[in-house]
Amino acid sequence: MNTKYFTMKNAILSSILSLFVWMSSCEKDPTPVGETAQFNLKFKTLFNGEPLIFNKAYTYQNTPFMVSKLQFYISNIELTEENDSPDKPEIVTEIGDVVLIDLEDVNSDSLSAIQGKTLTFENIPVGTYNGVGFGVGVYQELNRQIPSDFSSSHPLSSSGNYWENWNSYIFVKLEGRIDTNGDGEFNEGMLYHLGTDNLFSPISIKDGNIELVENGQATKSLVLELEKIFNNGDSSIDINTEFFTHTNPNEPGQLNLSTKFMTNFIDAISVE
């Protein structure tokens, strides 16, 4: 008796499940298990069209400067694809949570700087994607955590990239030195440390297809143009006078400078 009951019940359940699967298939073919590929996201940093070399003297608007550090977090990293139905929102595939991009290794010599920094994301479902998106910084929910919450291999484990006074990770660090008086000595420290939730800045880049086929890989190459961080219309930064900010919320001058810097930083990123 019991056996018969379960058999009938299973048959009904199977029918419902089949119907559900069939209806789902009308919307979008599910990606079969195992069909994955690798996606690479490459960053190159340029100044005046040439790869930026750390600790090399450059001049911007007659002010000599050099960069010794450039690192930034990106989080909520995703690929997007158009929906079959144009009236429905595009489909988003999350490919990474948070990455710290430290350019010291790649921008210390010209050979490496030309290659840029490549982030690799594996086991991404195959498909035709129309764009890549991420936020510069650490998204709010993740930004409530602190370095002690993580083991040392995690990108958020370093206390050097966290500022307790803000309760925030330092989203972007650009450091170097400037010669403000033209005497040939880089007399002033240049330091832009950006953080706090308000400065988290999403960016979406859609410039055509990213085709991921099974066991294959595709690369999206982006460039970050340093001069555009300084020179961006009303948001331009005079490095001769605006060369230091910790984004201290108690100091409006620092907050304004950091806000301009982040605006420009996003505008300075484009497809290679």
The footprint of other proteins (CB under 8 A) covers 54-55, 66, 68, 108, 147-148, 150-152, 157-160, 162-165, 175-177, 185-191, 244, 246, 248, 250-251
Between 177 and 220, CB nearer to other proteins:
177
Cβ proximity to other proteins: between 186 and 200 the closer is 186
Residue 204 CB, nearest distance to other proteins (Å)?
Answer: 33
- In the complex, minimum distance from the CB of residue 239 to other proteins, in angstroms, rounded to a whole number: 12
Tokens representing residue 82 in the block: 């158009």
Nearer Cβ to other proteins (85/250): 250
Cβ 190 to other proteins, closest distance in Å?
Answer: 6
Do residues 52 and 112 touch, judged by C-beta distance below 8 A?
no
Structure tokens at 14: 């199977």
Output the smallest distance, CB 3 to other proteins, in A: 50
Nearer to other proteins, 106 or 190 (CB): 190
Residue number, 121 or 162, with CB nearest to other proteins? 162
81-88 own/partner pairs: CB under 8 Å, 24+ apart: 81/127, 81/128, 81/129, 81/130, 82/130, 83/28, 84/27, 84/28
In the complex, what is the shortest distance from the CB of residue 227 to other proteins, in angstroms, rounded to a whole number?
20
Other CB atoms within a 10 A radius of the CB of residue 247 amount to 27
Report CA-CA distances (Å) from 232 to 198, 235, 264, 265: 20, 5, 6, 10
- Write down the residue that tokens 């290679």 correspond to: 272
> 138 with 98: CB under 8 angstroms?
yes
CA dist 70 and 147 (Å) reads: 20
What's the token pair of residue 263? 């605006």
Query: From the CB of 196, what's the least distance to other proteins, in Å?
Result: 14
Q: Is 26 exposed, middle or buried (0-12, 13-18, 19+ CB in 10 A)?
A: exposed
Q: Least Å distance between CB 43 and other proteins? A: 21
Query: Mapping DSSP to helix (H, G, I), strand (E, B) and coil, where does residue 177 land?
Result: strand
Closer residue to other proteins, CB minimum distance, 198 or 248: 248
Rounded (5°) CA angle 164-170-176? 120
Shortest spacing between CB 243 and other proteins, in angstroms = 8
The nearer residue to other proteins, 91 or 191, going by C-beta atoms, is: 191
* Spatial contact of 221 and 44, defined as CB atoms under 8 Å apart: yes
By beta-carbon proximity to other proteins, the closer residue of 40 and 108 is 108
